Chains A and B, each alone.
Chain A
């Protein structure tokens, strides 16, 4: 009797175990075929070049490693301009080390598209085709602009983009410079095309403090060096999450969005690990992680989640027209520099 009960228990456990294994493998299928996963594990590592902030990407790598602990991700992080020079020089010398290149400025990546191999994630059909500039390059990360202010310093906070031009905020705002890269260029385009031809002049008249990139500006905002300003949501959200005296909102006129361009070079030494990494990043799980933990948006047609404070019924996301994005860049950035008195 006891023996039969024991057999039953063992059998039941076996079924449960089988079901669990099946469930896990079905879930893993979402990231690639068993062959790909096996090949990726055999490669054991990949080298990831990114223009995004090292700290942010460390978290992505950690989350990926929770799913695939066998694959080590080695990261090289450099600001946009330096990263492009490095990739071009390495590639020309036949020494491109990267297995994945991830860049915020799609205009710089598009002419290099031929350098990348054909690649599409398993859920390719779920992506918004407008977010892609070449079939090999995918919007691994999609960043969105917001306005943030220091709650200790601002008692009468701004509520719109236009509010940042108010004389009462003279010398209190900060701005990331237009030539800093693709994401800022998107915001600058949005300001001129949506908020009006004279928006820059009006905003510059409040004499904002200029920053080379969003990260030092978000730090200055926390310290109270500036009281408010436009920031990429993912540059300021982690600080708010940690308890800094910060409030963030998405203004009603629109939220400029910049999708990245990410691909696997033809010369990748660890192509399977690279594919698996990108598959995971682009999967629902990867995108949800980046939205919830890092404050990104997504270029998936049906977003699996939204960052805190982002109401899709209220906030209008604004994608730049890629044609304008490429053509207007030089002239408009030069004008922006002049308007804001930035020496280039």
Chain B
């Protein structure tokens, strides 16, 4: 990034714009820092204040005299916190191992082999990302409960003496692993695609077997991508509430997120303790983010050279049907089985299933849960609100992330490192607690932010800023500086260059990031819980309401509605962004 060309460009630009440019640049940086201060720093300070005092900063006022580490130390000394922390590390560690194995396997199958119907496997590898964690948890509870699970019912019917129990650490690890494998897949598949195959060819010419080549050349070469995907999936698992809430509750298995949720739910609620537990979670996450930076910054992706090449496709012979079979099994586990479970639960009057024949008893099925959820006026309102907040978040958050990403990656302005660091911070804060921090921080903002859809959108923009900035950064890195420099030479200003060069070229990436932001905003539960009001109920909160209201049928029915809606919206956005991509290719080509 700091190559000669970029420095030359900077010098040229500085020379042409002179002092006016410098004033403009520092104003711009101050503006970005002010926005980040409001969105990120201020709520985090409120959270720290909550963790280090025993007061509610809004009710009792900000009382620095009460500041002490007692609250924090009490939390550290609590054996239940230690247990929750240990459970968290085991569940996320185990889940990450499975995610890496699954994600790496499928990225290799899709990118590097001649397995038939690769497109289907590629789609299956990404699909779990769209399932809200609570929905995934509910689906696997229906399938894997030790007493009433459909899997056990089928085993019993088949006369098999096998039993599965997903209400356990193993169940949690398994579900975490298969649902967060897409993060590893996304990183490793693009690395494999961009890798020059000549190194592998060299290994094979030297007599190494295909298998040996894979482990001695291919995987070591994409190690940064593997580590990135691994750390990211670990970090995401750390912050998930829905899956451990459903699978861990029956056996009283707590992880940090469910523990934090419990603390806020008890009567009386223990928010300050929750804030302190959240700090622990933040420290663990922060360490991992730091580690990720270390791993990535020390390396360069030198396998991506300027020379054109096609990724090599390995001829697996008859084995390609085996890899195809693996893909189908994965599809079955992450998509087909959970969807079937949800469909059964959504259409069945009661989930008491004595045996397999009762499962196929048509009299047990009806539309009553769907009628009941659409009879509730909150259902339609929550759908409308979620889409609205999703669009606001995607557009405003996308624009902000573009501004931040451009400033970090394409300029040399002073202060951009700070912008980078601050915009990454929210990755480390669990949503459940950040919700109350946003409430504490923003309720007093004049102009009536509280009670509107905007407070939710701002929370989502802040919370998902790291994801959006990171996913946009890749598109900036792909555009060569020469193109911008050419525009400058032709006399375009910074804004003109962005409008005519950067934006059109980065458009597919921007659309993809905005779609991601939209999906994340619609799924987000934790930070919504404290910010929604009667007028601004969103789908994720209503889904939790149905779940907590103890009606599995309605929960499943609403999950299906949400999944179908997300599918339609993402399909639409994909169609649009593909159009955009083709459009930009046409213009540049």
Give the B-binding residues of A (Cβ under 8 A): 47-48, 53-55, 58, 74-82, 84-86, 88-93, 95, 97, 105, 108, 150, 152, 179-182, 185, 209-220, 222-225, 235, 239, 242-245, 341-344
Q: List 26 A-B contacts (CB under 8 A).
A: A53-B548, A54-B545, A75-B378, A76-B534, A80-B265, A80-B267, A81-B268, A82-B529, A84-B267, A84-B269, A88-B56, A89-B58, A91-B59, A179-B266, A210-B252, A212-B249, A216-B547, A216-B550, A217-B550, A223-B145, A224-B148, A224-B352, A225-B250, A242-B350, A245-B350, A344-B266
With beta carbons under 8 angstroms apart, the residue of A53, A97, A180, A181 that contacts B534 is A97
Cβ of B267 and Cβ of A81 under 8 Å apart?
yes
Cβ of A55 and Cβ of B549 under 8 Å apart?
yes
Residues from chain A with a CB closer than 8 A to the CB of B451 are 95, 97
With beta carbons under 8 angstroms apart, the residue of A80, A92, A108, A214 that contacts B550 is A214
How far in angstroms is the closest Cβ of chain B from A75?
6
How far in angstroms is the closest Cβ of chain A from B343?
16
Give the A-binding residues of B (Cβ under 8 A): 56, 58-59, 80, 83-84, 145, 147-148, 249-250, 252, 254, 259, 262, 264-269, 271, 349-352, 354, 368, 376, 378, 436, 439-440, 443-444, 450-451, 529-530, 532-535, 537, 545-552, 554
* Given known A-B contacts A74-B534, A82-B269, A97-B533, A152 and B352 have beta carbons under 8 A apart: yes
Cβ of B59 and Cβ of A81 under 8 Å apart?
no
Residues from chain A with a CB closer than 8 A to the CB of B148 are 223-225
Interface contacts beyond A55-B376, A55-B546, A89-B443: sample of 5 additional A-B pairs, CB < 8 Å, sorted by A: A78-B529, A210-B252, A215-B549, A223-B351, A344-B266
Cβ of B269 and Cβ of A85 under 8 Å apart?
yes
* Given known A-B contacts A108-B268, A344-B266, A93 and B352 have beta carbons under 8 A apart: no
* Given known A-B contacts A82-B529, A95-B443, A224-B148, A89 and B59 have beta carbons under 8 A apart: yes
In chain A, what residue has the closest Cβ to B444?
A93
Please report whether the interface of chain B is mostly helix, strand, loop or mixed according to DSSP. loop
In the assembled complex, the Cα of A218 lies from the Cα of B549 at a distance in Å of 9
Residues from chain B with a CB closer than 8 A to the CB of A80 are 265, 267, 269
Residues from chain A with a CB closer than 8 A to the CB of B250 are 209, 220, 225
Residues from chain B with a CB closer than 8 A to the CB of A150 are 352
Residue among B267, B436, B443, B554 with max Cβ neighbours from chain A (10 Å): B267
Cβ of A74 and Cβ of B267 under 8 Å apart?
no
With beta carbons under 8 angstroms apart, the residue of B368, B533, B534, B548 that contacts A79 is B548
In chain B, what residue has the closest Cβ to A49?
B534
Residues from chain B with a CB closer than 8 A to the CB of A47 are 533-534
Residues from chain A with a CB closer than 8 A to the CB of B269 are 80-82, 84-85
How far in angstroms is the closest Cβ of chain B from A112?
11
In the assembled complex, the Cα of A217 lies from the Cα of B249 at a distance in Å of 11
* Given known A-B contacts A93-B443, A215-B548, A108 and B147 have beta carbons under 8 A apart: no
In chain B, what residue has the closest Cβ to A238?
B551
How far in angstroms is the closest Cβ of chain B from A338?
11
Residues from chain B with a CB closer than 8 A to the CB of A75 are 378, 534
Among all A-B residue pairs, the 8 with the closest Cβ atoms: A215-B550, A81-B269, A74-B534, A219-B550, A343-B80, A92-B59, A93-B443, A181-B267
In chain B, what residue has the closest Cβ to A105?
B267
In the assembled complex, the Cα of A63 lies from the Cα of B546 at a distance in Å of 21
* Given known A-B contacts A76-B533, A222-B350, A216 and B56 have beta carbons under 8 A apart: no
Residue among B145, B545, B546 with max Cβ neighbours from chain A (10 Å): B545
In the assembled complex, the Cα of A212 lies from the Cα of B259 at a distance in Å of 12
In the assembled complex, the Cα of A181 lies from the Cα of B267 at a distance in Å of 5
Residues from chain A with a CB closer than 8 A to the CB of B268 are 81, 84, 105, 108
How far in angstroms is the closest Cβ of chain B from A113?
16
Residues from chain A with a CB closer than 8 A to the CB of B259 are 343
Cβ of A92 and Cβ of B58 under 8 Å apart?
yes
With beta carbons under 8 angstroms apart, the residue of B145, B271, B450 that contacts A85 is B271
In chain A, what residue has the closest Cβ to B381?
A74
Cβ of A89 and Cβ of B352 under 8 Å apart?
no
Residue among A108, A180, A222 with max Cβ neighbours from chain B (10 Å): A222
Residues from chain A with a CB closer than 8 A to the CB of B443 are 89-90, 93, 95
Cβ of B550 and Cβ of A244 under 8 Å apart?
no
In the assembled complex, the Cα of A343 lies from the Cα of B352 at a distance in Å of 30
With beta carbons under 8 angstroms apart, the residue of A58, A210, A212, A219 that contacts B265 is A212
Residues from chain B with a CB closer than 8 A to the CB of A341 are 252
Residues from chain B with a CB closer than 8 A to the CB of A209 are 250
How far in angstroms is the closest Cβ of chain B from A8?
46
In the assembled complex, the Cα of A84 lies from the Cα of B271 at a distance in Å of 11
Cβ of B550 and Cβ of A218 under 8 Å apart?
yes
* Given known A-B contacts A82-B529, A97-B534, A182-B267, A243 and B352 have beta carbons under 8 A apart: no
In chain B, what residue has the closest Cβ to A93?
B443
In the assembled complex, the Cα of A54 lies from the Cα of B373 at a distance in Å of 12
How far in angstroms is the closest Cβ of chain B from A336?
12
In chain B, what residue has the closest Cβ to A99?
B534
In chain B, what residue has the closest Cβ to A172?
B147
Residues from chain A with a CB closer than 8 A to the CB of B436 are 85
Cβ of B252 and Cβ of A223 under 8 Å apart?
no
Residues from chain A with a CB closer than 8 A to the CB of B58 are 89, 92-93
Cβ of A342 and Cβ of B534 under 8 Å apart?
no
Cβ of B552 and Cβ of A219 under 8 Å apart?
yes
How far in angstroms is the closest Cβ of chain B from A183?
10
Cβ of B352 and Cβ of A82 under 8 Å apart?
no
In the assembled complex, the Cα of A295 lies from the Cα of B357 at a distance in Å of 34
